[in-house]
Amino acid sequence: MRNFVRNSTFAAVSSLLFSVCHAQSDIEQPGRGFNSLKDLADELNAAVQTDVEFTREGSAASIARGAKLFKENCVQCHRDNAQGTPDWHTKDASGNYPPPPLNGTAHTWHHPRSLLVELIRDGSRIMPAFGAKLSDEDITDIIHWFQSLWPDDVYASWAQINQAYKESSN
């Protein structure tokens, strides 16, 4: 596993992105942390002063296994290097979004691990469920593989989102 240190600005921005993606933004919800843009700016400036260490999850064996499982199950929609459909951010004729990139260039890193596992296992409106075909270990290996494609700063942001979600779920 690789250790790396990233400026905790990523953590602060990730927390804000998490709240924007899963609720109204903190800026719009007084009492949830940020009552104004100035408060948000102060929080981000404070975050710049500290470093946070993140450790990537997934052994080399897990990542290799995940690559193989991805090619067997996911490549048809998410493409060879998890780059997704070129027009993934534009709804199709049915009103659905095409498969997004999983390589760190789209929104996948905004979601905690539990949601990624749930989406793969149970499917969604257009994504098929793989729970009957893939074990929890298989799903984890696939996640480890596509996360191995993410740049360090993207992974660090995801790690912070994942940790914040775990803490809020307890």
Q: Where are the domains of the chain?
A: 3-55, 60-151
Is residue 118 within 8 A of residue 124, CB to CB? The reply is no
Q: For 72-108, how does the pLDDT look when each residue is reduced to its tens digit (9 = 90+)? A: 999 999 999 999 999 999 999 999 999 999 999 999 9
Which residues are paired to 3 by β-bridges?
55
Segment 7-32 mean pLDDT: 42
Which band of pLDDT confidence, cut at 50, 70 and 90, is reported for residue 55?
confident
List the single range of 6-10, 94-98, 125-129 with lowest mean pLDDT. Answer: 6-10
- What is the value of pTM for the model shown? 0.70
pLDDT at residue 53, as a whole number: 60
Residue closest to 147 by CA, chosen among 89, 51, 70, 53: 70
Q: For 155-166, how does the pLDDT look when each residue is reduced to its tens digit (9 = 90+)? A: 999 999 999 999
| Arithmetic mean of pLDDT over the chain | 79
Residue closest to 57 by CA, chosen among 120, 2, 118: 2
Residue closest to 55 by CA, chosen among 144, 164, 126, 125: 144
Cα pseudo-dihedral 129, 132, 134, 139, rounded to 10: 50
Q: Considering the domain 60-151 in this protein, what is its CATH number? A: 1.10.760.10
pLDDT at residue 40, as a whole number: 56
More confident residue, 78 or 34: 78
